[in-house]
Every structure is written in structure tokens, then in C-alpha cells.
Amino acid sequence: MVSRTGPRRSESVRLAVLNAADDLLVEQGFAGTTIEGIATRAGVAKQTIYRWWKSKVDILLDALADDAREALAWREAAGTPGEDLVAHLHRVAGFFEEPAGQVFRALLGHAQLDKEAAAALRAGFLHEQRERDLEGLRVIVRRHSGGEPDEATLVRLTDLLLGPLYYRVLVLGEQAETALLDASAHLVLELAARPAGPA
């Protein structure tokens, strides 16, 4: 059993709970993942979990946020803007195949039926990731075009970049093949280099 005394050990308990929730969701699905099961897998008492989270949805939201900060981070420049953009899209596509991506899918599905869960997902993970995506693409566009994109254009380019990937994976339930990712990156960079038109 994981010790629950002291701030450092409390962090180890938090991570044990998040990892247990990830594992159980992959193994048993959303409906089969319970607070009781998470507590048993993590080696902690249910009371410990309820001190920090009010539901399994809150646990999964925390697990998703932790995992995504690394998995969906935009990396430092390693090639041309186009190469770096395609590489990022491949990381996003790979994320959906990992346990954290399965947690994301499960939470999105549950959010369609639970307004409180939907609000928490949007205010937490989705908001954080949106900010990361906007800033990451801003850097790529700046390198590619030599200019600073206005905010409205950046928002549209971000939607164009990620929309096809999310649609293929989350709506059609298929993998996003390389040709789709390459085409999305190419289109976004082509549009980013064009002079801004009238509002």
C-alpha cells in the first residue's frame, strides 16, 4: 500500500490514483471504472480518494490533464516549419492510440450526456490544450511567414489544422493516415503565407 503521510508521499498517492484510473479505463471501459476499483488498484482507501476528488470523472480529468501536458506539447524547432508541423500532428495522432487518448475519448463520450462533465472538460483540459495549440501554431507560422498572425486568423488556422484529424479519429473512429496529416499541415502553411484579406 502507498503511504499517505507528508506532502511528498501525498503526491505519490495522487499519481498512483491517476495511473490506476488510466489503467482501469483501458481495461474495463468507462462504465466499469469505479472509485472502489481505482482505490483497490492504487492501494489507497476510498476515503483518501474522496478527500481529493468527488467522482471518477474528476479523477480522469486530472489524469488526462497530466498526461496531455507532455504528450500534446509543441516541441522546440527541429526542422523546417513544415516538418515540425507534420511531426506535431503525428504526435497528436499517436496520442489517441495511447491510454491517455482513450481516457479523452471516454470523457468526450460521457460529456455528451453530462452537462457538468462537459463544462469541466471544456474549462480544464480543452481550454489548456487550445491555448497550447494556438501558441504552438503561432510560433510555426511566425517562422514560416516571417510575420505575426492576427488572432482571428490563428484561430481559423488551428481549426483547419486539427479539425480533420479529430474528425477522422473521434467521429469516424479511424486512424489519421500520413497523407491526411501532410495535407493538413501543407494547407495551413499555404494559407498562413497568403496576405490577409479584408475582414
118 shares a domain with 70: yes
Q: What is the mean pLDDT of the chain?
A: 91
pLDDT at 2 over 60: no
What's 87's domain CATH number?
Answer: 1.10.357.10
Q: How many domains does the chain have?
A: 2
154 shares a domain with 121: yes
Structural domain of residue 13, as residue ranges?
7-53
80 shares a domain with 16: no
* In-domain check, residue 124: yes
Q: Are 66 and 14 in contact (CB under 8 A)?
A: no
22 shares a domain with 78: no
99 shares a domain with 39: no
79 shares a domain with 26: no
What's 22's domain CATH number?
Answer: 1.10.10.60
133 shares a domain with 178: yes
151 shares a domain with 78: yes
* In-domain check, residue 131: yes
* In-domain check, residue 198: no
Each residue of 99-115: pLDDT tens digit? 999 999 999 999 999 99
Each residue of 111-138: pLDDT tens digit? 999 999 999 999 999 999 999 999 999 9
Place of cell 501558441: 135
101 shares a domain with 45: no
